[in-house]
Structure 1
Amino acid sequence: MLTIYAVSDSIGETAEQVARATASQFNEKIRLKRVIYIKNFEAAEEFLNSIESPKDTMIINTIVLVDVREFLIERCIERGINIINILGPCINTASKILNRLPDYKPGAVRNMDARYDKRIEAMEFAMRYDDSKDHKGIKIADVILIGLSRTSKTPLCMYLANKGIKALNIPLMPEVPLPEELSEIDNKKIVGLTIDPIRLMEIRKHRMDKFSIISSDIQYANGERVLDELEYADRVMKRLRCKVIDVTNRAIEDTALLIMDSIGYGGNKDY
């Protein structure tokens, strides 16, 4: 069995994400292990000595400390261990273009700085105002997501929060009046989520099965009810004149990118 080690001189999150993305491309059982805080030769040597099967091992490392990184690479070559360095070539290329040496700071990507604090604040905001728990957040939110139940509102809010965006979601139900605050804000901050009715019924039925809900009185996944809800949601979104995104078979990440583009939170940021 292949074992992929995500090795870092910090917490190893970047290396692990690359390792998971790599493993996901193969329909094989692949073991993933994160190895963190490799900041000196001793730690690197101890890690290498713990590897039981070098031929079935792959190392993805994001070590920025040059001496430690080169030591690890040399030892891997000697022992026949496959190793890929992710940050080294990127840092070297940027260094050439900028004509200056990098700082080589481990964990610089995850420093406890203003961007980190902003993400934490956004996550707390998303949890506090999830599913219309409190409408006071509408006027201070960066984006308000509206849509029927099971249109990925909460996961999207949490994903956006991880980007530092204060996202609030409001479930649409024909029987529940819309918050007045929605009509008092810029409609560019509102994003409507819609979905194919067949897909929505499938998702809701699956949820009911998961929680063993079999009562015939439940209209949650009923075809007629779903169509009525979708018609209602469509009327609301047209009245608010907001951007509408179809989330049918769309990944959370893809939908989030469309939302960020809509509200002007693109990926072009200065650091």
Structure 2
Amino acid sequence: MSRPPLRAVIADDQALVRTGFGMILAADGIEVTAEAADGIEAIAAVRRTRPDVVLMDIRMPRMDGIEATRRILTDGDRNGTRIIILTTYDLDHYVYAAITAGASGFLLKDVSPEQLVAAVRMVQSGDALLAPTITRRLIERFADRKEAKAADAHPDLSGLTPRELEVLRLLATGLSNAELAERLFLSPTTVKTHIGRILSKLELRDRVQAVILAYETGLIAPGDTARPRSTEDDFPGVTGPKKH
């Protein structure tokens, strides 16, 4: 039996962006269930159509993407909707606020069609941290301004096994599931099981929230890395995001 198509909502105050992204997703078999021109319309569209993924612009009239993300995920956890933030600049300071509100990652608006489709499918599956080179840079930019707490002082982390803590540390450096499996001499299935248990124990929605928690608790420090990565690792054939 074939699986139902992945469903998406596009929220952006520019009609051309909505139309262009919609055409790209539809060409790859992703159903665009609704479009929204502002945050209020986005919330209504999500409640009405229950999509798998929302592409959410930050700056929109009436209600911005940050508040819309927060409200959608407050009552949207039950249906597993995930949100990708759209931004014009790769270090937009509003993006961090949106991710901490529960978004699963973010994309620059000038991404290629291949990047867009890959990102939507990655976030929907929960299998990979979206664009680690960009996301990690953003998290580090803000994490080093926070006062880190000792990892063992966090009540949730104390419930993780030593192996789960090790997986969380490596996950926070941006390693994919395949790289985690290779590093820890585990099968990909076992890695997924560990990550699922980590998210469940910490009551986190996805890997992005796990990365943020790892930085904020001091489990990993800004600048820690397991292996240099590039956007090429996640989007083959793409050299990286355009600088502004």
- Tell whether the structures are fold-level matches, with TM greater than 0.5: no
Question: Which of the pair has more CA radius of gyration?
Answer: 1
Structure 2 length-normalised TM: 0.31
Larger relative contact order (CA 8 Å, sep ≥ 6) = 2
